[in-house]
Chains A and B, each alone.
Chain A
């Protein structure tokens, strides 16, 4: 594995992505919505409202706190969990352009003729989708933290975010979800020849995240260590499995003879 070649492939893909305005809008717009809209729409109304009654607390409220703090903490955790959607959604958009787009435009054959290994190509192109998605996720999260802390500091007297859950989400779940999404998109790319179809199918990659989110929102799971570790293991296994599948799919022979 030669890191300089891998990085060059990723750099080229990132440069290409910057010139696709719809991808760029998504890369900037969606993180902005996550950073600004979500806390303003969910946390701000609670912070500025009357103290909620004990017996009317929603299932996601954090136990062992004053009612308003419990609701706000639960909402902040939900907002943090929503940050798994970003590394799931963004790579599918980018990878749809860099894999399916290049396949349709017949740009893969000259690339495959270079003295790079299949794995270098796969990792390079994967990084080209992974790096912008993670950068957008981190930047967006920084915005969320700032807004949530400004809104909630008067209520708590300390900074609510970042907390341990956000560290797990950002540093463990987000990269795994991103890897899962990239791998899934590569697999999809071998099956479809239309960028929009690839993007739509790529969204299926967010299914595990969606499931976990609704389980938490419905109070079926709580954010305890056991739950976090179990979900982490599920994500890691799914990512590893899908990466192995994408590795088997992304081979010169397969791309030139079987990719439709």
Chain B
């Protein structure tokens, strides 16, 4: 559905996006991760035909970015960083305006507006001026705006930024529902938990492409594998015993938990648990350490900047 071939954008000699090459399949949720200034927004703007590439090519839905700009813009929806709604107009009027610009017929327009506003819990406020909405409600309305013409590809730039946890969950659930409808979703985010939960694949960029794959693939390939073992009580004897095991690369104690860095968790975990029990430890649970993608991401970005 989306294809980038050496996509490049320079601004006065400064390379914002440097030769990105990857593909995103239909119905996939794809995350673009990278630090501030990594060129994520520039990439999205190029793919939405808002600015032109200075090098390479890109295709969205089979249409070439730049050459078939109107066609591309017809099949994509964009949620930019700022909601950019018209505060003085009602929620309904905002959506109606955009639906008309996308050429959505009247009946379909009314159905879509009602359906999406109901999905995000805003139908009851449809006639209120948007200026009276909270930041979270505005963000949700901006997502509906991006969806009002039922685009094949949806570009979401930080969709849950500045949202309260319950609103963020509503938005994430909404994104997952869109995936069921086989829509392709291109997500720019700093929220790595979100990327891990939502995305089928992610690309880590810092102007250039650093790594691409599913979150678990990236974690396996690049990230430290960490096992979290919660004990009734952590003792010095147990820590020393675990540290001596040959599969173990490092041990950290966090409260009543042992955070054990291992190369091959499947081989190492039974041996670690056995050693803990042998040295008097009572295991409450064993789990893969969370934030694995975060650690992978930070490591890759640091390496790219070094």
Contact = CB atoms under 8 A, between A and B. Distances in A.
A90 to B, nearest CB: 19
Interface of B: 11, 45, 48-52, 70-71, 73-74, 76-78, 80-82, 84-89, 93, 97-98, 100-103, 142, 145-146
A9 B101 contact: yes
Nearest to A252: B50
Nearest to A4: B100
Nearest to A17: B88
Given A12-B97, A113-B76, 11 more contacts: A8-B97, A9-B101, A12-B89, A15-B89, A105-B87, A107-B84, A109-B80, A110-B80, A112-B50, A113-B80, A252-B51
A146 to B, nearest CB: 34
Given A19-B88, A107-B85, A114 B98 contact: yes
B98 A110 contact: yes
Given A15-B93, A110-B142, A256-B51, A115 B84 contact: no
Contacts of B145: 110
A116 B69 CA distance: 10
Interface string A1-12: 000110011001
B50 A256 contact: yes
A114 B101 CA distance: 7
A108 interface: yes
Q: Which 5 residue pairs are nearest across A and B when measured between Cβ atoms?
A: A19-B88, A106-B82, A115-B73, A113-B78, A114-B101
Contacts of B49: 252
Interface SS of A by simple majority: helix
Contact of B101 (A5, A109, A253, A257): A5
A21 to B, nearest CB: 10
A106 B80 contact: yes
Contacts of B100: 4-5, 8
Contacts of B76: 113
23 contacts: A5-B103, A12-B86, A12-B89, A12-B97, A16-B89, A19-B88, A19-B89, A20-B88, A105-B87, A106-B81, A109-B80, A109-B82, A113-B73, A113-B76, A114-B98, A114-B102, A115-B70, A253-B51, A253-B52, A256-B45, A256-B50, A257-B11, A257-B51
A222 interface: no
Contacts of A111: 84, 101
A117 interface: yes
Which among A15, A106, A113, A116 has the highest number of chain B CB atoms within 10 Å? A113
Nearest to A107: B84
A231 to B, nearest CB: 38
A119 to B, nearest CB: 12
A113 B74 CA distance: 9
